[in-house]
Amino acid sequence: MLSDGRRRLVLAAIGIVALVFGPFAAYQLTRTAERSPALLLADVAVGWSMIAAGLIIADRRPGNRIGPLAILTGFAWFLGDFTNSDVAVVSYLATVFHGWFDPLFALVILAYPTGRITRRLDRALAIGFVAVQAAWTLVQAYGLRPIAWWDCPTCISTVDRWTAAYTAMDPLGRIETLLLTGLSVGLLVVVTARWVSASGAARSRQTPVLLAGLVLGGSFIVTFLWQTVLPTNAREPLGELRVIVLALSRVLVAIALMIGVLRDDAAKGRIADLVVRLDGLPPLPVLQASLRDALGDPSLEVYRWKSESGAFTDAAGQLATPPADGAARAVLAIGTADAPELLIAHDPALRDDPGLVSAAAAAVRLAVENERLQAEVRAQLDAVTASRARIVEAQDDERRRIERDLHDGAQQRLVSLQLSLQMLRRDLGPEADPAAVAELEAASAEAAAAIADIRELARGVHPAILTESGLGAALGSLADRAPLPVVLTDDLDRRLPGSVEATAYFVAAEALTNAIKHSGASRIDLRTWLADDHLHLDVSDDGRGGADATDGTGLTGIHDRVAALGGTVRVESRVGEGTRLMVALPCASP
Amino acid sequence: MRVAVAEDVVLLREGIARVLRDGGFDVAVSVGDAEALLQAVDRSPVDVAIIDIRMPPTHTDEGLIAAETLLARTPPMPVVVLSQAVEPAHAVRLLGDGRGGIGYLLKERVAAVDDLLEAVQRVARGGTAIDPAVVAALVARRREHDPLAELTPREREVLALMAEGRSNRAIAATLVIGDKTVETHVASIFSKLGLEEAPDDHRRVLAVLTWLRHA
C-alpha cells in the first residue's frame, strides 16, 4: 500500500496524463475523417469522466478496486480513438485492446459499490465479460496480423488493408457482439432485479448501477441492432447522434457511480453527527429518527428492553415483538448478547455496508453505555447524599438520646440523692453529731457539683432547649452564654425539621467558638431567617478576618455538616474586615 | 396551702411531695405527666402547681405548655416550673407581659429545701421566683460597654436579688440592710441601666431580666 502522499502523487500524475491524453486521442479521430466538435467533446468527456471518477474514488477509497477499474475503463475508451492511427503499431494495439472498455465498465458496475464481486451470478457475468473480451482480443490480435507491424514494418495502415482484415473476422465479430450483448442483457436484468428488490436506502444506493447497467446494456443493444437490423444507408446520418447520446449517458453514469461510491462520506458525516447528538441516550423516537437519518433507512426500527414488563417496546412505547435477524430484516443487538438493551432492525441491504452500520451501532452503544454509567453515578451520588444525611440525622438522634439519658437518668438520680441527703440532714435534727453533719453537707455539695457537671455535659452534647423550644431559643441561649457580646436577630416564626435546627445550632456554636478563639472580635452578630425554602444563618464578627477554610477543623466541620443536608456555606474573611459566615440549609415550607 | 406536683420520675416526685408536706403544704395532686396534671387541677383546684418541664410523652416542653395553660386561666393558677437546664429564655417566656405567680427553678433546687419552700410560698402569693443560677448566668453575660460595670458590688447584689423576684423587704433581710437603703440602691440601679421603675415586683423582674438578656 502506498502512503497517502505517494498515492496522491501517482494519482495526480495519472490525472495529468489523462488531461493531455484525452484531447490527443480525440485529435486522432480528426485525422481520417471530418468530425463535429460536439462529437469530439463528447468523446473526451466520456474518457475524462471515467478517469476522473476513478481518480477521486482511488483517492478517497484507496482499498476500493472501482477506482483503478474506472481509470482503466477511461483509458480504454481513449484507446478506441487510436484505431485509425496511421502508425501501424498504434492502430493495431488500439484496435486489439480498445474493446476492453465495455467489459471493464461492466466490472465496475458489478463491483459497485464495495469494489468486490461476491454474488455467484455477478461473478459468472464478470467472468463471462472478461472471457469473451479476452477471446476476442486474441482473435483480433491474430486476425489483424495483416496490419500488424511485424508483417509490414514500414507499411502505413490503409483503409483497404483494414477492411480486408475486418471482413475476414466479421463472422467472429458478430458472435462477439452477440455474446457481449447477451451478457449486457444479463447485467441489465441483475441490476434491475437488485434495484426492484431493494427498498429505501439500499434502492437509492443501487440507482447509479441501474442507470449504468441500462446505459451499457442499452449501448450494446443499440449497437447490435445497428449492425444487424438497421439498413446500411440509414446508419450514416444517425451515426454521430448515436455516439453523442451514448457518450453523454456514459458521462452521467460515471458521475453517478462516483457519487454512489463516495456517498459513504456523507453517511460517515451523519454518523459523526449521530455520535454528537447521542450525547446522552435520547428518547426512543428521537433515536430512531436519528438512526434512520444516519443510515438512510426509513424502515429502520428501534426496540428497547423494558425490564419492568420483561418485553421490548417500540419507539411509540408499545409492547412489541422485534423481528428475528434473517433474510427479511437485519437485527442488531446493543448490550450484552443474552440480554440486549436495544435492538435495531434495519433493511438487510445495509449488510452490504457493514462499516456504516457498525459505526452507527458503536455510536448507539456508546450512548447506551454513557446513559448507564450516568445513571449509575447519579444513583451512587443519591445514595451517598442520602446516607450522609442519614448519618448526620443518626448522629443528632444519638446526641439527643444521650442528652435525655443524662437528664432523665443520672441527673434525676443525683437530684433524688441530694434530696435524700437533705431530708436526712433534717431528720438528724439540731443535736446531730457535727462531724456527721459536715460529712453530709460535703456529700450534698459533691452531688450538687455532679449535677452541674452533668448539666453542662448534656448541654454540650445536645442542648435541651433546642428540642424544647427550637432554634431561636437555643441560639438565644448560646448568645446568653457567650463570653463576648453576641447580638441575635432571630426572625424564625416556626419550628424546623430536627436535623436542620440541630445543624444550624451546631454551626452557629462552632462559628461562635471560632470567632471567640481566633478572631479577636469584640462583638458577634448572629442572624437567622427563612427565605426561599431555606434557613439562612449569618454569623459575622468584627475581628481580624483572614479565616481559612482549609487550615483547621472548624470551617471544614461546618462545611461537612451543612453539605450533608444539601446546604451551602460561604465565608467572607478578608484580612482586617472581620469574618462573615453565611449558611443556607434547604428546608421546605410545611 | 394546696399544692400540685407534676414530675415523671417517681422517686423525685415522692421526694418533692415529702419536702412540701414537711414544709406544711397540702400536696393535693401528685401526677406523672402534664395531661394528668391539667385534669387533676380541674377536679381539685390548688393554690400552686410545681411542674417539671420535661415530661412524657415527648420529654420536651410539655411542662412549659401546661404551665402556660394554667397561667392563662382566670384567675391564673400560680406555677413553679422545674428545669433541668439553665435557660433564661424559658423564664422570660413564662413571665410573658409581666404577670406574677411564676417560678422558674433548676430542678436541683428541690434539694435546697428552704429555698424551695420559700419560692413556692412566694409564687403562691402571686410573686416571682427566678433561680439564682439563671440570674447569675445573665449577670455574667458579656455586653458591649457593659453598664453593669458602673454598678457597685452592693448594687449588683441587689440587682441579682431583684432578678430572682425578691421584694425590697426580702432583699433588705437577705443583705441585712435597711429597707430605705435597698430603695436607694434600686433607684440607683434603674437610673444607671436606663430602666423605668416598675409598678410591682414581678414587672420589675421582667424588666430586669429582659434588660439582662438583651442589653
Q: Which of residues 44-83 of A touch B (CB under 8 A)?
A: none
Name the residue among B10, B79, B9 with its Cα closest to residue B47. Answer: B79
CB atoms within 10 A of CB A498: 14
CA–CA dist A363, A360 (Å, integer): 5
CB proximity list for A160: less than 8 A, separation 6 or greater: none
Contact across the interface for A480 and B111, Cβ inside 8 Å: no
Round the CA-based radius of gyration of chain A to a whole number and report it. 48
CB proximity list for B112: less than 8 A, separation 6 or greater: A422
Q: Which residue has the higher pLDDT, A67 or A227?
A: A67
| 3-state class (DSSP) for residue A582 | strand
Q: Which of residues 242-271 of A touch B (CB under 8 A)?
A: none
Q: Which of A397, A401, A405, A416 to mutate to test the interface with B (most CBs of B within 10 A)?
A: A416
- Confidence (pLDDT) at A528: 95
Alpha carbons within 13 A on the beta-carbon side of B177 = 13
Provide DSSP, A270-308. HHHHHHHHTTS---HHHHHHHHHHHHT-TT-EEEEEETT
Q: Which of A419, A444, A454 to mutate to test the interface with B (most CBs of B within 10 A)?
A: A419
Calculate mean pLDDT across residues A504-519: 89
- Confidence (pLDDT) at A286: 84
| Alpha-carbon distance values, A373 to A193, A338, A359, A380, A590 (Å) | 47, 20, 21, 10, 36
pLDDT in tens, B56-92: 888 878 898 999 999 998 889 999 999 888 888 888 8
| pLDDT surpassing 60 at residue A553 | no
Q: Confirm or reject contact between A400 and chain B (CB < 8 A).
A: no
A502 phi and psi angles, rounded to 5 deg: -65, -45
| pLDDT surpassing 90 at residue B25 | yes
Which of B84, B112, B138 is opposite residue A464, by nearest beta carbon?
A: B84
CB proximity list for B55: less than 8 A, separation 6 or greater: B6, B7, B8, B32, B33, B34, B62, B63
Q: Write the ipTM.
A: 0.84
- Confidence (pLDDT) at B82: 93
Calculate mean pLDDT across residues B127-145: 84
Q: Which amino acid is at B143?
A: R
Q: Confirm or reject contact between A331 and chain B (CB < 8 A).
A: no
Q: Which amino acid is at B150?
A: E
Q: Which of B53, B83, B108 to mutate to test the interface with A (most CBs of A within 10 A)?
A: B108
CB proximity list for B51: less than 8 A, separation 6 or greater: B6, B7, B34, B37, B63, B66, B67, B79, B80, B81, B82
Confidence category of residue B28, pLDDT binned at 50, 70, 90: very high
pLDDT in tens, A143-201: 777 666 555 555 555 556 666 677 777 788 788 888 888 888 888 888 888 778 766 66
C-alpha cell at position A411: 441527673
Label residue A179 exposed, middle or buried (CB < 10 Å: 0-12, 13-18, 19+).
Answer: middle
Cα torsion for A54, A59, A63, A68, to the nearest 10°? Answer: 30
Contact across the interface for A419 and B15, Cβ inside 8 Å: yes
Name the residue among A147, A138, A183 with its Cα closest to residue A167. Answer: A147
Range with the lowest mean pLDDT among A120-134, A158-172, A312-326, A332-346? A158-172
Give the largest Cα separation in chain A, rounded. Answer: 168
Calculate mean pLDDT across residues A354-382: 84
Does an H or E element contain A414, and which?
Answer: helix A412-428
Q: Confirm or reject contact between A84 and chain B (CB < 8 A).
A: no
Residue B22: list chain A partners with CB under 8 A: 423, 426
| pLDDT surpassing 60 at residue B134 | yes
Q: Considering chain B, what is the average pLDDT of its residues?
A: 88
Q: Pairing mode, if any, of strands A311-313 and B26-31?
A: unpaired
Which of B60, B89, B137 is opposite residue A467, by nearest beta carbon?
A: B60
Round the CA-based radius of gyration of chain B to a whole number and report it. 17
Contact across the interface for B11 and A458, Cβ inside 8 Å: no
The answer to whether A345 and A300 are in contact (CB under 8 A) is yes
DSSP B72: T
